Chain A
Amino acid sequence: MGANHHSYFLEVSLPERTPIPLTKETARLDINNIYVGYNGQVVLDNLSFQVPHGARVAVVGPNGAGKSTLFKALVGLLPLKSGHIFIHGLPLGHHLDCVAYVPQREEVEWHFPVTVMDVVMMGRFGHLGWLKRPGKRDREIVAHSLELMGISNLAGQSIGDLSGGQQQRVFLARAIAQEPHILLMDEPFTGIDIATQETTLALLDQLQTEGVTVMVSTHDLNMASQRFGTILLINHTLVAYGPPQQVLAPQPVRKAFGDHVLSLEGGLLVDECCPPEEHLHQEGL
């Protein structure tokens, strides 16, 4: 593990995947005036944006801006109060296997007696019919996904015995095994080691060459601006959407983060009080 890992990773290619139809549609993901909320509170308020084919979008915004809520709405975990989500031009629910979601790590029962291999194999369940056992192709895809994330050696380990970074890799491997057309990752860079962070970013590069659309939420504005082509800045509703230099400019950032922004000479300082880490971001102008 560690530094060698990164270069090794880039040499591996994904197994043959279901071809993604390149139709004439304008957007693969079309979010139209959605309202989402729970317990009587509106979390997403009239949010609209379109993500084109193969884009790589960082979702940023202050704590409680609705980043996780947006992802949960996109996979159908939270109902829309109004508005529409279209994937490949069809309403949510039509595409069984094409959206993979890597939740924040707190959302899984870690004490469960499953191995790394078992967890990654779950990614294939969407492709298996009811009552069917995984076949040779499923096992091959799982093996490749493990290899891609550099965790083949952990295949037989209990999921609960892993470090945070290793757990992250397991869930990425599972997402790859799902062969998604759209990959959603909620805070994948929080609380992990640098090696896993680099592996994750390299994976995003690889997926992009394969035409997979990726949306990642993060607190790290620097990484968002340097490693993502498109930034979605939200605070319950859309603040700005576009290339980093346009979205992470003083005005929209101040609009989204409010009092947490400090203008310094040559930069902006965004200070959020409560995220687990990454409290400070120096944002160049």
Chain B
Amino acid sequence: MISWLLTPLSYGFMQRGLLAAIMVGILCAIIGCYVVLRSMAFLGDALAHAILPGIAVAYLLNGNLTVGALVAAIAVAIGIGFFSRQGTIKEDTAIGILFTAALALGVALISSIRTYAVDLSHILFGNLLGVGVTDLVLTGGLGLLVLLAVVLLYNQFLVISFDPVLSATLRLPTELLRNLMLVLLAITIVISLQTVGVGLVAAMLVTPAATAYLLVRRLPAMMLLSAGIGAVSSIIGLYVSYYINIASGSAIVLTATLIFVVVYLFSPRRRSWRALFSRSKGPSSISHE
């Protein structure tokens, strides 16, 4: 058993891959709590696809791909915030327009690059085993920055998510905080690319957080549990991918999904879970205390 666990770690690329997968798993799971609670899953998926043109442009200019992705993701995040701000069009419509446009631009740019086919599949599905030391440092640094913001602005993010009306009466800069949250989400998605890729990052954002939501009743507990589930999914998924030789990103996502299904079947909170999905505004029953 021990050797079963240790053998893969004798390879440097597996060590780095595991470390990256754990960091990304934790980070996605924590930001994912807000994604789930604020119903931003579609937005997360859209942001992930919207970074393609950034990567393509960075590649064409021989720049850093991560920086290119980051710039594109933040630009799209702010663009969505801007278009949906005045309420002229709904947020999901704004997302639909911008994300497909960015994706189309990305594909157009990439199709002009002949030799890019292999790298493109890495962007779409991740390349965990190709994580270098620089990637690790970048992931760790940006990840810490995101976590720091989540911890320091906990009160503010809680209020703008739970009760926008209170947030306005407290004169919180709601727009600014909302955009900041989008930027944090964008950063998280970009550093997740190497692990699970554009196609699967939404799962890492949503699945562990949704699993944790089924089990606990406070946001800090939900974040910690979600982080734990994200990390465990990453570890199990990576080992599974090593031993049965499947793509690591999909192994991680499938592990997280399996944990979700098991928890869902035994969850005491299935009723409130349904409430979350039907976006019900809670019990309308009249009290008979």
Specify which chain A residues have a CB less than 8 angstroms from the CB of B165 in the assembled complex: 75, 77, 101, 103, 107-108
Contact A126 B219 (CB under 8 A): no
B159→A110 contact, CB < 8 A:
no
Q: Which of B14-22, B60-68, B280-288 contacts A (4 or more CB under 8 A)?
A: B280-288
Per-residue interface assignment for chain B, residues 13 to 54, with 1 indicating a CB less than 8 Å from any chain A CB and 0 otherwise: 000000000000000000000000100000000000000000
A195 to B165 Cα, complex, angstroms: 27
Identify which of A106, A110, A131 gathers the most chain B CB atoms within 10 Å of its CB: A110
| Complex-state Cα separation, A126 to B217, whole angstroms | 24
**Known: A76-B169, A96-B170, A122-B162. Contact between A160 and B282, CB under 8 A?**
yes
**Is there contact, CB below 8 Å, between A108 and B286?**
no
Task: Provide the bound-state CA to CA distance between A131 and B153, in Å.
Answer: 6
Q: Is the CB of B288 within 8 A of A113?
A: no
Is B275 in contact with A160, judged by CB distance below 8 angstroms? yes
CA distance A268 to B46 in the complex (A): 58
A109–B37 CB distance below 8 A: yes
Q: Which of B161, B169, B275, B284 has the most CB of A within 10 A?
A: B169
Enumerate chain A residues within 8 angstroms of B166, measured Cβ to Cβ.
Answer: 101, 122, 174
A119: chain B residues at CB < 8 Å are 162
Interface presence of A93 (CB below 8 A) = yes
- Of A42-50, A161-169, A206-214, A230-238, the segment with at least 4 beta carbons within 8 Å of chain B is A161-169
Contacting pair A76 B158 (CB below 8 A): no
Q: Is the CB of B286 within 8 A of A111?
A: no
A111 touching B280 by the CB < 8 A rule?
yes
A109 and B161 within 8 A (CB)? yes
Contacting pair B162 A112 (CB below 8 A): yes
- The size bracket of the interface on B is 35 or more
A114 lies within 8 A of B219 (CB): yes
Once the chains bind, are A77 and B169 in contact (CB under 8 Å)?
A: yes
B37 surroundings in chain A (CB, below 8 A): 109, 111-113
A191 contacts chain B at the CB level, 8 A cutoff? yes
Contact, CB under 8 Å: B283 / A162: yes
On chain A, the residues within 8 Å of B288 by CB distance are: 163, 193
Partner of A195, one of B162, B283, B289: B289
> How many residue-residue contacts, CB under 8 A, span A and B?
124
A113 near B213: Cβ-Cβ < 8 Å: yes
The A interface, classified by DSSP as helix, strand, loop or mixed, is: loop
A99 at the interface (CB under 8 A from B): yes
CB nearest to A150 among chain B residues:
B289
Contact A125–B159 (Cβ < 8 Å) = yes
User: How many of chain A's residues touch chain B, expressed as a range?
Assistant: 35 or more
Q: Closest chain B residue to A115 by CB distance?
A: B218
A149 to chain B, nearest CB (A): 12
* Contact of B168 with A by CB under 8 A: yes
* Contact A114–B158 (Cβ < 8 Å): yes
**B224 vs chain A, min Cβ distance (A):** 12
Residues of A within 8 A of B272 (CB): 111, 158, 160-161
| Contact A106:B286 (CB < 8 A) given known A75-B169, A111-B276, A122-B162 | no
Task: Find B286's partner among A96, A100, A164 (CB 8 Å cutoff).
Answer: A164
Residues of B within 8 A of A103 (CB): 165
Interface residues of B in 199-233 (CB under 8 A from A): 213, 216-219, 221-222
CA gap between A161 and B282 in the complex, in Å: 9
Q: B114 at interface (Cβ–Cβ under 8 A)?
A: no
C-alpha gap A167/B155 in the complex (Å): 21
By a beta-carbon cutoff of 8 Å, the part of chain A in contact with chain B is: 1-2, 75-77, 93, 96-97, 99-101, 103, 105-115, 118-119, 122, 125-126, 128, 130-131, 158, 160-167, 174, 191-193, 195-196
Q: Given A96-B171, A106-B281, A109-B37, output 15 extra A-B contacts at Cβ < 8 Å.
A: A110-B281, A111-B272, A111-B282, A112-B37, A113-B37, A113-B217, A122-B162, A125-B156, A164-B285, A164-B286, A165-B289, A166-B289, A174-B166, A191-B286, A196-B287
14 examples of A-B residue contacts, CB within 8 angstroms: A96-B171, A101-B165, A101-B169, A109-B163, A111-B272, A111-B275, A113-B219, A118-B158, A125-B156, A131-B152, A164-B285, A165-B286, A166-B287, A167-B283
B residues engaging A (CB < 8 A)?
A: 37, 152-153, 155-156, 158-159, 161-163, 165-166, 168-171, 213, 216-219, 221-222, 272, 275-276, 280-289
